[in-house]
A and B are shown apart, each in its own frame.
Chain A
Amino acid sequence: MGRFVVRRLAGMIAVLFAVSVLTFLIFNVIPSSDPAERMAGKNATPQLVASITEEWGFDESLPQQYLTMMKKIFSGEVISYEGREDVDERILEGIGPTFSLCIGAAVLWMFFGVLFGYLSATRAGGLLDRVLTIVAVAGISMPVFLIGEILLVYLTYKTGLLPSGGYVEFAESPLEWAEHLILPWVTLAIVYVGIYSRVLRSNMLDAMNEDYVRTARAKGLSERRVMSRHVMRNSLVPIVTLFGLDFGALLGGAIVVEAIFSLNGIGEYAYISLINTDLPPIMAITLFGAFFVVLFNTLVDVAYAYLDPRVKLGESAR
């Protein structure tokens, strides 16, 4: 276990390095205008551009520029090109709304995903299964921005039940915090509920044909116990993998949902920075997101060894 974690940490550094280099290179090869020119504004004198170029080090070699930027990101000194704000501070501010959004949505989608999957599988072929299948497929197929807009139209603009966007700190008012997040939570969760219920349904249907389920019935267990202890327990293992990957990726910013509801989180910051081709925040957010993806990947593997005793950490499982 200890050795496994150490090896994974080393791997994490390698991944973060590769991701940052790639992001940096992509930014430097896309045909965007020189950042110094944009910073100098319209009708700037060549002298001004030249002085900005020198001041920001845009004339240095790419590896040098990369090193400088990484140093700044990790020491908290990195400043964005657009608006010259402190990037790390801005990301820290975004953690509140982004994490609130992700954790709340994750609770929703795990609860309903597992519930719907269970109901579908135990009543496979029945009416409820068919209805849930249609709902799930509709949820998966609809683009997030469409779901968000539909909810906004009916629950905000037409009825005024819920606020249209923005974020209130939990510490400020828990009630308003929740009120502002209900729509984003539901919007984000709908897609995942669809996917998770379908995956769980098919896992459970496979598990029901396993010999050990027949054994469980032959022991005289009640159907409910057969389902919960033998079918569900074994079907949840792949769901955990999926959850780790999805949740880790979302912590780096749920771009679309945050943008629809102006939550001012990391995802929305990423969206704005991308539009402005603002390299420092893009680099910082990418690293931030990649960190969580790798972290949750590792957590998934640890969880796997716990859920399935046949899996030993550090061995190539399956």
Chain B
Amino acid sequence: MSEGLLSVRDLRVGFATEGGAVRAVDGVSFDLAPGEVLAIVGESGSGKSVTAQTILGLTRSPNARIEGSVRLGETELLGADEATMRGVRGNRVAMIFQDPMTSFNPVHRIGAQIVEAIRAHRGEVSKQEARQRAIELLDSVGIPDPRRRVDSYPHELSGGMRQRAMIAMALALEPEVLIADEPTTALDVTVQAQILRLLGRLNRERGLATILITHDFGVVAEVADRVLVMHEGEIVERGSLDDVFYSPADPYTRALLGAVVRLDQAPPLRAAREAESLLEVRELVKHYPARGGLLRRGADPVRAVDGVGFELRRGETLGLVGESGSGKSTLCRAVLGLIEPTAGSVRFEGCEIAGLSRRRMRPLRREMQMVFQDPYASLNPRRRAGQIVAEPLRLQGEAGGGELRGRALELLGRVGLGAEHYDRFPHELSGGQRQRVGIARALALRPKLIVADEPVSALDVSIRAQILDLLAELQGDFGLTYLFVAHDIGVVRHVSDRIAVMHEGRIVEIGPADEVCERPRDAYTEELLAAVPVPDPRLARERRQNVGLE
């Protein structure tokens, strides 16, 4: 551990808060060798991002207490003055972040932001030269038409292009170390695969030492050489990729790996359902008028949902998979009668709900409920868990007074929460507990159909499995029918009887879950499946060789 390019020794970061000191990073040591990819894996709050930011001196809170040592070559970075740190940032150690949309300044052109990075360290480079360099960089990360793109604003690029541009900016000064903090988490899975390939290529071609921060074992298996697992501020496991995956020593690592929902492992067979149909969607179309501009008059409408039909049988789970912009959410809203479809029909228990008035829709609302992606944003922060769960009962006049409390407690019990959670506010609950409250609220009126829109994608891996189990258990107990929407086909396969794949407003493939995942008929489905990272290093290598990438 002496040949390190970057060596971190006994790093401790504490934050003074109202509730006392919080140790975010607690004695972390590691070395980064030239040319290697070191993955730091952990769940939210494990301290992995704080570690990364502290290396570059970006942990700026006045309440932070930082101890230990971070050496880059001969330079000690902890406690170094601003001028030294500025010379390191972007120049010797560059960083890319999770969300390329918010990480670029929206009001400056991409090129200008790259030029700025170059000229911050090489004052002698003229603006023209820097711009030329920016074009070359954009070209080298695979951005088509870089001469034009250099003058684009961030919002004019797609998510994947933005992250490529971010990487180009990070490479501008040929740094020795790249720190990538969840670089693909905000991206669609097919785009994620491209970005991971790009990072792998840069590592091989330029020998760029990389610290990859992620929560996703699939991503780790695809690109890392060595792995650190962090938990509550400490490194609980360290080793080569294969060691950590195939013979983990620490119980937490084992639990984490066990909780990963894998696409390539068939879930236990579910009983076939021959029940009658609950929901029938036919030829559903939802177009949004194109936004008017001077030159775009009479432009085609946005075809969010463009002729979709499917049937949902009582008691089954239909998984709806698709990338962002595929029309999943619009479809859900139309199914729930929250938006008026442009054309087509939605029949719930034989009753047409498309175009139903708000008043006539009301009694049907109790039959269909929704569970949302972000449990924090979808719970009123000023109401207690019990009140949130009881609200639908109160609004529909189901119960009142003392009975209301009893019913709410019962519901909380059903989702694994106790009486002690009744009086808590959403911010006093953990992410998993919040999602449980959201599910209890959806259950309150004993609905027949639950539309779950990305119910686990905001949750940590270990919590994810618990919530999926809870949903499965409740389905059996209450005879629920699920429309389960997610971008992660692995999760969808785990819970669904059948899977529908959406792409550009249409369902390109629908069928039994195993069939869609094992023998996809549609080219897009195949692409989607191939892009999902496998949390299994050997398989990942095999796959890479099969496609001839190495």
**Residues of A near any B CB (own CB < 8 A):** 1-4, 125, 210-212, 214-223, 225, 229-230, 233-234, 237, 307-310, 312, 314-315
Indicate which residue in A125, A215, A219, A233 contacts B107 across the interface (CB closer than 8 Å): A233
| Interface residue B97 (Cβ < 8 Å from any Cβ of A) | yes
> Do the beta carbons of B103 and A211 come within 8 Å of each other?
yes
Interface centre among B62, B85, B120, B166 (most CB of A within 10 A): B120
Q: Interface SS of chain A: helix, strand, loop or mixed? A: helix
Within 8 A of A (CB), among B86-108: 86-91, 94-95, 97, 99, 102-108
> Do the beta carbons of A220 and B103 come within 8 Å of each other?
no
Interface centre among A125, A237, A310 (most CB of B within 10 A): A310
| Interface residue B422 (Cβ < 8 Å from any Cβ of A) | no
Write out the residue numbers on chain A whose beta carbons fall within 8 Å of the beta carbon of B293.
312, 314-315
Given A1-B294, A230-B105; 15 other pairs, CB 8 A cutoff = A212-B104, A214-B53, A214-B103, A215-B105, A218-B58, A221-B86, A221-B116, A221-B117, A225-B116, A225-B120, A229-B105, A229-B108, A233-B105, A309-B106, A315-B292
> Do the beta carbons of B116 and A218 come within 8 Å of each other?
no
Indicate which residue in B82, B97, B294 contacts A215 across the interface (CB closer than 8 Å): B97
Write out the residue numbers on chain A whose beta carbons fall within 8 Å of the beta carbon of B86.
220-222
With contact pairs A217-B58, A217-B89, A315-B293 given, residues A210 and B102 touching in the complex (Cβ less than 8 Å): yes
Write out the residue numbers on chain A whose beta carbons fall within 8 Å of the beta carbon of B169.
219
> Do the beta carbons of A220 and B87 come within 8 Å of each other?
yes
| Interface residue B56 (Cβ < 8 Å from any Cβ of A) | yes
| Interface residue B155 (Cβ < 8 Å from any Cβ of A) | yes
| Interface residue B30 (Cβ < 8 Å from any Cβ of A) | no
Write out the residue numbers on chain A whose beta carbons fall within 8 Å of the beta carbon of B95.
215, 218
Q: How far is the CA of A229 from the CA of B166 in the complex (A)?
A: 18
Nearest-neighbor residue (CB-CB) of B57 within chain A: A217
With contact pairs A2-B294, A310-B153, A312-B293 given, residues A220 and B117 touching in the complex (Cβ less than 8 Å): yes
Write out the residue numbers on chain A whose beta carbons fall within 8 Å of the beta carbon of B106.
212, 234, 308-310
> Do the beta carbons of A218 and B292 come within 8 Å of each other?
no
- Nearest chain A CB to B43 CB, angstrom units: 21
> Do the beta carbons of A222 and B120 come within 8 Å of each other?
yes
| Interface residue B121 (Cβ < 8 Å from any Cβ of A) | yes
Q: How far is the CA of A315 from the CA of B294 in the complex (A)?
A: 11
Within 8 A of A (CB), among B285-304: 291-294
Interface centre among A1, A125, A219 (most CB of B within 10 A): A219
Indicate which residue in B53, B89, B90, B103 contacts A212 across the interface (CB closer than 8 Å): B103
Q: How far is the CA of A234 from the CA of B104 in the complex (A)?
A: 12
Write out the residue numbers on chain B whose beta carbons fall within 8 Å of the beta carbon of A309.
106-107, 153, 155
> Do the beta carbons of A219 and B90 come within 8 Å of each other?
yes
Q: How far is the CA of A219 from the CA of B95 in the complex (A)?
A: 8
Q: How far is the CA of A308 from the CA of B94 in the complex (A)?
A: 27
Write out the residue numbers on chain B whose beta carbons fall within 8 Å of the beta carbon of A2.
294
Indicate which residue in A1, A212, A216, A237 contacts B102 across the interface (CB closer than 8 Å): A212
Write out the residue numbers on chain A whose beta carbons fall within 8 Å of the beta carbon of B153.
309-310
Nearest-neighbor residue (CB-CB) of A225 within chain B: B120
Residues of B in contact, count (CB < 8 Å):
35
Write out the residue numbers on chain B whose beta carbons fall within 8 Å of the beta carbon of A3.
294
Write out the residue numbers on chain A whose beta carbons fall within 8 Å of the beta carbon of B291.
312, 315
Write out the residue numbers on chain A whose beta carbons fall within 8 Å of the beta carbon of B155.
309-310
Q: How far is the CA of A191 from the CA of B547 in the complex (A)?
A: 68
Between-chain CB contacts (< 8 Å), 20 pairs: A2-B294, A212-B104, A214-B58, A215-B95, A218-B56, A218-B95, A219-B120, A220-B87, A220-B120, A220-B121, A221-B86, A222-B86, A222-B120, A225-B116, A233-B107, A309-B153, A310-B106, A312-B293, A314-B294, A315-B292
> Do the beta carbons of A218 and B82 come within 8 Å of each other?
no
Write out the residue numbers on chain B whose beta carbons fall within 8 Å of the beta carbon of A1.
294
- Nearest chain B CB to A219 CB, angstrom units: 4
- Nearest chain B CB to A34 CB, angstrom units: 51
Indicate which residue in A125, A219, A223 contacts B82 across the interface (CB closer than 8 Å): A223
Interface centre among A214, A312, A315 (most CB of B within 10 A): A214
Write out the residue numbers on chain B whose beta carbons fall within 8 Å of the beta carbon of A234.
105-107
Write out the residue numbers on chain B whose beta carbons fall within 8 Å of the beta carbon of A307.
107
Write out the residue numbers on chain A whose beta carbons fall within 8 Å of the beta carbon of B99.
211
Write out the residue numbers on chain B whose beta carbons fall within 8 Å of the beta carbon of A220.
85-91, 117, 120-121
- Top 7 A-B pairs, shortest CB-CB distance: A220-B89, A220-B90, A219-B90, A211-B102, A212-B105, A219-B117, A218-B95
Indicate which residue in B53, B89, B294 contacts A219 across the interface (CB closer than 8 Å): B89
- Nearest chain B CB to A208 CB, angstrom units: 9
- Nearest chain B CB to A227 CB, angstrom units: 13
Q: How far is the CA of A217 from the CA of B103 in the complex (A)?
A: 11
Indicate which residue in A214, A230, A314, A315 contacts B97 across the interface (CB closer than 8 Å): A214
Interface centre among B99, B121, B294 (most CB of A within 10 A): B294
Nearest-neighbor residue (CB-CB) of A3 within chain B: B294
- Nearest chain B CB to A20 CB, angstrom units: 30
Indicate which residue in A229, A308, A312 contacts B116 across the interface (CB closer than 8 Å): A229
Q: How far is the CA of A218 from the CA of B103 in the complex (A)?
A: 11
Write out the residue numbers on chain A whose beta carbons fall within 8 Å of the beta carbon of B117.
219-221
Q: How far is the CA of A215 from the CA of B163 in the complex (A)?
A: 13
Indicate which residue in A216, A222, A315 contacts B105 across the interface (CB closer than 8 Å): A216
- Nearest chain B CB to A51 CB, angstrom units: 57
Q: How far is the CA of A176 from the CA of B298 in the complex (A)?
A: 59
Interface centre among B58, B91, B293 (most CB of A within 10 A): B293
Q: How far is the CA of A211 from the CA of B108 in the complex (A)?
A: 14
Q: How far is the CA of A237 from the CA of B107 in the complex (A)?
A: 10
Nearest-neighbor residue (CB-CB) of A4 within chain B: B294
Nearest-neighbor residue (CB-CB) of A234 within chain B: B107
> Do the beta carbons of A221 and B102 come within 8 Å of each other?
no
Q: How far is the CA of A233 from the CA of B105 in the complex (A)?
A: 10
Q: How far is the CA of A143 from the CA of B471 in the complex (A)?
A: 61
